Amino acid sequence: MSPVEFGAGRSLLYIVLAMVTALHPAWAAGGQAGDHTEKHASESRGPLYRVFRQLRRAHWVIEGHSRRIMYVFFDPNCPYCHILYDVSQRFVRSGLVEMRWIPVGMLAPSSGGKAAAILGARDPRAALEQNEDHYRHPGGGGIVPIRGSRTVRAELETNLELFQQTGAGGVPLILWEDQAGHIRMQDGAVDAETLVSLIHQIRPRR
């Protein structure tokens, strides 16, 4: 996809990202080198529906406040998750969407420790912001990894279990409920135009 309204800086980011992915195929979502085609699915019943109804068990970081809620499974070292985070900020700030970021540690040796540092922080939202604001290619998220408490490690295991139940191939994985009550998901890099389209599909909570 072509980046929308990213400017020269974002274009450079995409060029660097392409180089990094070529050199580090394990960074591709789910460890599948070069396979980051967007995958889209929806269910009114079935495994995806059941996972969505179990998301109350998940442990997430909330950004923004809106009647439209979008859930995102992400890895702190995932370059595509970083792009999604970056793209989402204008919509979070405008109140168009509430993002619930669900950390998992799966892509690199430091992923679990960085996810623990975000989820276990006194201010998880600020920790998420630190990770993304200091993201580097290569290297991943900018937060310092920690072992995390037993409670935090158990929370991350729950998150990973829920992610695996979706059957998705990689992160970022976006989940939402559409206007018809169907549960929908999409994985892969998302540009601004695509993201705002997905946001408008969300059924607003009452």
Rounded to whole angstroms, the Cα distance separating 135 from 17 reads 12
pLDDT at 24: 37
Strands 69-74 and 98-103 come out as parallel
What does the domain layout of the chain look like in residue ranges?
39-201
CB-CB neighbours of 115 under 10 Å: 32
The Cα–Cα gap between 82 and 75 comes to 9
Report pTM: 0.80
Residues 192-206 have pLDDT tens digits of 999 999 999 999 998
pLDDT tens-digit readout, 148-175: 999 999 999 999 999 999 999 899 999 9
8 burial (CB, 10 Å; 0-12 / 13-18 / 19+) is exposed
Lowest mean per-residue pLDDT among 46-50, 63-67, 82-86, 199-203: 46-50
Give the pLDDT of residue 38. Answer: 44
CA pair distance 156, 143, nearest whole angstrom: 17
Q: What is the tens place of the pLDDT at every residue in 37-59?
A: 345 555 556 788 899 999 988 99
Looking at domain 39-201, its CATH class is alpha beta
- Enter the tokens of residue 138: 């290569």
- Other beta carbons less than 10 A from residue 136's beta carbon: 11
**Distance (Å, whole) CA 176 – CA 199:** 9
